[in-house]
Amino acid sequence: MTEERTFKAWHRGSDMTRRDVLKKGLGAAAVLAAGGTGAALRSGGWTAIAGEPYDCVIRGGLVYDGISSEPRQADVAVRGDRITAVGRIEGPAARVVQADGLIVMPGFIDVHTHCDLTFKRSGLKRHLARVMPSWKGNYNYLHQGVTTVVTGNCGYGYTDVDYWFGLLEDIGFGTNVYHLAPHGMLREALFGPDHQGPLNASQLDRLAGRVEEEMQKGAVGLSAGLEYAPGIWADVREISTCARAARKHGGLFTVHMRDESGAVKPGGRPALLESIAEVVEAARQAEVGLEISHLKISAPYNDLRPGQVFDLIEEARRQGLDVTADQYPYTAGSTYISILLPDEFKSGLGVKDRYKTRSGQVEIEKAMAEVFSYLPPDRILISFDPNDETREGKTLEVLAETTGRTPARAYAEMVCEDPPPTGIFFMMKEADVRALMQPDYVMTASDGWTVPKDMTKPHPRCYGTFPKKIREYVLKERIVDLPRAIRSMTSQPAEKFRLKDRGRIEVGYFADIAVIDLKGLNHHASYLDPHQYASGVRHLLVNGVAAIENGQATGERGGRACRRS
């Protein structure tokens, strides 16, 4: 049964930190060493022996280094935050994990997240991160085996790298974080949310200058969201100029394209193909590496096929452009419900004030009639509503029925709220999801965010993207082989985003290491019950710090705010 059919079927009817005990990933062994006892301690499956040269040795696992097509039986030794040896390691260590029957691989790298928006959109509630281990630890990602995330995607996020990284360093975040300069929010900060049309030369210089400022602070590139206001008003000249500013400092360009559907444009070409052509041209003019975010074919489909998408991308690659993409293995997307409206209605993440009147809402209702022709109200689920939490986990159809409104009327009222709710939209075909993950230039990414346990009804991709892909599409359906899937989650994103010394099991690289039980690896989050941690990640090191032991979060946080090097 597909996700969409399953969705319709069900629709009808003291976490304590151990920072004082486990210090810098050395655990109780460090305490023993300080006392000079030379004793051994067993805790949580680890063997600690005081005073030995290695801090940790992972013994007997099947190692996938993130690069090679074939794994090898090997031990991996760690000292401090680095991998110091790979092979047969005889010497003892402060901590030893026996990985017999398990696989050892680099921690996963998720290049498309909105972990920053969990903080940015929470207002004063963001301070709860200090006392909520699941929030500050980024547990929903750790349990997937993710050790590094990239924020600032889709043109949204913090406009000041220093401020964002200062916040992360203050709370001690659980995963590594790299950041992109967000085009949309930089533009909005300079010129307001409703500055329509192209920028003049002076304005464009100011915007490009702001991009350069954030690059100099350590951003890894520029992101744009051309389906959101104010990104909808940016033309190729503006995009390419800002992308060129990122490229001058070694950055890349990532983009949420203008239209990801098969809707037929006035010239007869599918909107998705026009959108790909647009961003490829912008990257060509800027001479910058391009990452197409969350590649998909959304409704209306109009017989648009994955092969047509591949043809366009591969032609650009043949011409020498560095074009890659990322994708999540779900048939539903998630964002603010305002995304469903035509561009003329949009302002920021909501709608323009003139549509918040009764007559304006009538115009919204008329526009939604066409949307419902390819995305019915029973396939629109409210996942987060800061204005009314009772709506979360209900479809637009149910909300309309329970309030005595039409679906269009219910939508019009909600989208005019500030901020509008976030929705989950079942608008992709399973066959397309399978096809789009297969090319070797497509990476794995969640498009998710940090989720404090049991808060809101987030998309299950926040909890399950990486285990789901391996369990369902690698081990079960064999659509992608395991080494290729691992590469798409480790070394490939590290290379594309230039994340120095990450993404490989290799001497000298950071000790971001996942020890996984493939038989037990699985995702458990669903659309109605999303707060379910993935299983199968037995041990996880982040910069050498033991973040997970025997499948449980330790409370230790080894993540770092990482600047482009």
Identify the domain containing residue 254 by its residue range: 108-331+428-552
Evaluate whether residue 6 is within a structural domain: no
Return the pLDDT at 52. Answer: 60
Distance CA 380, CA 107 (A): 34
Return the pLDDT at 263. Answer: 97
Q: Cis check for the bond before 300: say yes or no (omega within 30 of 0).
A: yes
Angle separating helix axes 271-286 and 236-247, nearest 10 degrees: 50
Residues across the chain: 565
Please answer whether residues 337 and 421 qualify as being in contact, where contact means their C-beta atoms are separated by less than 8 angstroms.
Answer: yes
Return the pLDDT at 40. Answer: 31
* Number of C-beta neighbours around residue 101 at 10 A: 11
Return the pLDDT at 38. Answer: 28
Task: Please indicate, yes or no, whether residues 432 and 521 belong to a single structural domain of this protein.
Answer: yes
Distance CA 352, CA 345 (A): 6
| Residue range 179-188, pLDDT digits in tens | 999 999 999 9
Task: Please indicate, yes or no, whether residues 365 and 505 belong to a single structural domain of this protein.
Answer: no
Boundary of a domain, candidates 404, 424, 444: 424
399: tokens are 């909300």
Task: Please indicate, yes or no, whether residues 283 and 176 belong to a single structural domain of this protein.
Answer: yes
Q: Which is nearest to 231 in space by CA: 205, 263, 206, 199?
A: 199
Return the pLDDT at 197. Answer: 87
Evaluate whether residue 264 is within a structural domain: yes
| CA atoms within 13 A of residue 308's CA, in its CB half-sphere | 19
Return the pLDDT at 90. Answer: 87
Evaluate whether residue 64 is within a structural domain: no
Evaluate whether residue 47 is within a structural domain: no
Task: Please indicate, yes or no, whether residues 163 and 195 belong to a single structural domain of this protein.
Answer: yes
- Kindly report each contact of residues 162-169 with a partner whose C-beta sits within 8 Å and lies 24 or more positions away, as own/partner: 162/217, 164/116, 164/119, 164/561, 165/218, 165/561, 165/563, 167/119, 167/126, 168/559, 168/561, 169/561
pLDDT of residue 93 exceeding 60, the answer is yes
Using alpha carbons only, what angle is made at residue 538 by residues 138 and 46, rounded to the nearest 5 degrees? 110
Please provide residue 470's backbone torsions phi and psi, each rounded to the nearest 5 degrees: -70, -45
Distance CA 161, CA 409 (A): 40
Q: Which is nearest to 103 in space by CA: 517, 471, 535, 546?
A: 517
Q: What is the mean pLDDT of residues 264-284?
A: 96
Task: Please indicate, yes or no, whether residues 433 and 478 belong to a single structural domain of this protein.
Answer: yes
Task: Please indicate, yes or no, whether residues 186 and 247 belong to a single structural domain of this protein.
Answer: yes
Boundary of a domain, candidates 424, 448, 470: 424
Evaluate whether residue 557 is within a structural domain: no
In the chain, pLDDT over 70 holds for what percent of residues? Answer: 91
Task: Please indicate, yes or no, whether residues 385 and 437 belong to a single structural domain of this protein.
Answer: no
| Residue range 434-454, pLDDT digits in tens | 999 999 999 999 999 999 999
Task: Please indicate, yes or no, whether residues 119 and 200 belong to a single structural domain of this protein.
Answer: yes
What stretch of H or E contains 382?
strand 380-384
**For position 229, which CATH number holds?**
3.20.20.140
Boundary of a domain, candidates 424, 449, 465: 424
Evaluate whether residue 90 is within a structural domain: no
Where b means 16+ CB within 10 Å and e means fewer, 140-167 reads bbbbbbbbbbbbbbbbbbbbbbeebbeb
Task: Measure Cα distances from 482 to 57, 102, 467, 518, 523 in Å.
Answer: 24, 14, 12, 11, 17
pLDDT of residue 308 exceeding 70, the answer is yes
Evaluate whether residue 559 is within a structural domain: no
How many domains in the chain?
A: 2
Return the pLDDT at 51. Answer: 42
Task: Please indicate, yes or no, whether residues 297 and 406 belong to a single structural domain of this protein.
Answer: no
Distance CA 459, CA 140 (A): 12
130: tokens are 């200090």
Evaluate whether residue 319 is within a structural domain: yes
Task: Please indicate, yes or no, whether residues 284 and 360 belong to a single structural domain of this protein.
Answer: no
Return the pLDDT at 26. Answer: 36
Q: Which is nearest to 52 in space by CA: 95, 98, 97, 86?
A: 95
Return the pLDDT at 37. Answer: 26
Mean pLDDT, the chain, as a whole number? 91
Task: Please indicate, yes or no, whether residues 147 and 230 belong to a single structural domain of this protein.
Answer: yes
354: tokens are 């003139």
| Residue range 323-376, pLDDT digits in tens | 999 999 999 999 999 999 999 999 988 999 999 999 999 999 999 999 999 999
Q: Which is nearest to 156 in space by CA: 125, 188, 195?
A: 188
| φ/ψ bin of 265: left (φ > 0), alpha (ψ from -120 to 50), beta (otherwise) | beta
pLDDT of residue 251 exceeding 90, the answer is yes
Distance CA 538, CA 383 (A): 30
Alpha helices in 144-264 (DSSP H): 161-171, 183-191, 201-216, 236-247
Tell me the whole-structure pTM to 2 decimals: 0.91
pLDDT: is 26 or 65 the higher one? 65
Task: Please indicate, yes or no, whether residues 419 and 449 belong to a single structural domain of this protein.
Answer: no
Please answer whether residues 430 and 477 qualify as being in contact, where contact means their C-beta atoms are separated by less than 8 angstroms.
Answer: no
35: tokens are 């006392």
